[in-house]
Amino acid sequence: MMSKNASYLLTLFLAMILLWFGNQYATKNLTAFEGQNDTEVEQARVTEILDHQTETVAISETENYTNETIIFKAEILRGDNKGTVVTGYQNLNTFILMQLRPVDTGDKVILYHYPDETVGAEWSLGEYQRTDALIYIAFVFAALLILFGRRQGINTLVSLSLTVLAIFFVFIPAILSGFNIYFWTIVICIFVTLTTLLIINGYHSKSYCAIIGCFSGVLVSAGLTLFLNSTLKLTGFIDEDSAYLMFVNPDNPIDLKGIIYAAILIGALGAIMDVAMSIASSLYELKQSSPNLSRSALFRSGLNIGKDIMGTMSNTLILAYIGSSLSFVLLMVSYNPSVIDVLNREVIVTEILQALIGSLGILFTMPLTAFIAALLYSKNNEA
């Protein structure tokens, strides 16, 4: 029998091979961004504020707005031009609600090469650089995960990295290349499930139970999503971003209903996998402590454990989806004539559908995982 370390390395090796081939295949027809934007982008630190230029523009006899231009010097921090000091500008307009705060000395910024002869500057302020703070937080998270989880913490980071690679280096390029979203969503769900559970728990009966249970929940969610896509007459046009997606690849437009399908399945996968692993692991420990426990008693215990998990996990899904779109929900409620109108908007229906499909996937995952665990653990008591 293969050792635990050998099986771990084999899983990691196979996962990396699949990711590489998947990326090569998914990107071979990728033309979404070719020649669309040749603008130079640089990371820089503001070293000096040179000038503030303010202009008041009349809109009407009673209304006007103020246009402010901040001119500054900045030192480029990365790339071939590192150390070069350039002149940049930021436009602030009181007529526009959404804009960046005024730039100040010491700020790290993203500059775009948009020359403006009227202010004598070559670079425009595009955004504040926020990735440094995110990287620090990620390092703290990784360090704490390893500190508390030891080897399991490392395994968690590895599985998380593989999941991120699968999404950003295979799944997203496949969609932008015009491949079938429905097929690639299932492929990614299978890959994430297998790599996560096998790397964290190895080739163990717990993993097998969780994998089968997870697959059942995902397949149920996939079937329900396809059925409800038609029943609810969804179009996929839930916001302005959806409209922009139609023009990413005009020759082979992205299937917006497929995007909803993918969002629901990938969003539900984490919760379904968590439930499957929780039940499989709990029943394994129960069987280890009570070897004489019958198959039926083990199955009933799994159902009882699932009932406790079900309430909190369903709340987790619903709260996560509401929290991610809270601003939009508030806007819809504030400016719509009735609750019925709000609840029938496609963007709201999609959010509700995500929570319900995920919860239904969990409901189907629990009994099947408990059944498979009772079946396998009654025959296999190996650690």
Give the C-alpha separation, 86 to 74, whole Å. Answer: 5
3-state secondary structure of 129: coil
Per-residue pLDDT band at 383 (split at 50, 70, 90): very low
pLDDT at 381 over 50: no
Which two structure tokens, joined as six digits, stand for 35?
A: 């020649």
Measure the CA–CA gap between 143 and 67, rounded to whole angstroms: 46
CA atoms within 13 A on the CB side of 32: 21
pLDDT-based confidence at residue 55 (cuts at 50, 70, 90): confident
Q: CB–CB of 371/352 below 8 Å?
A: no
Highest mean pLDDT among 98-112, 160-174, 200-214: 160-174
Average pLDDT of the segment spanning 332-338: 72
pLDDT, tens only, 235-284: 777 776 777 777 777 677 788 888 888 988 998 898 889 889 989 998 98
Q: What is the pLDDT of residue 21?
A: 92
pLDDT in tens, 166-205: 999 999 999 888 888 999 999 999 999 999 998 988 888 8
Task: Tell me the DSSP string of 253-302.
Answer: ---HHHHHHHHHHHHHHHHHHHHHHHHHHHHHHHHHH-TT--HHHHHHHH
The full set of domains in the chain, from first to last, is 4-27+151-377 (no CATH), 41-129 (2.40.50)
Q: Phi, psi (5° rounding) for residue 381?
A: -110, 20
Q: What is residue 20's predicted lDDT score, i.e. its pLDDT?
A: 93
For residue 316, count other CB atoms closer than 10 A to its CB.
17
Cα–Cα distance between 1 and 219 in angstroms, integer?
32
- Statement: residue 25 has pLDDT above 50: yes
Tell me, what's the pLDDT at 34?
53
Token pair, residue 282, equals 């709990």
What does the pLDDT read at residue 38?
62
State the average pLDDT over residues 302-317: 79
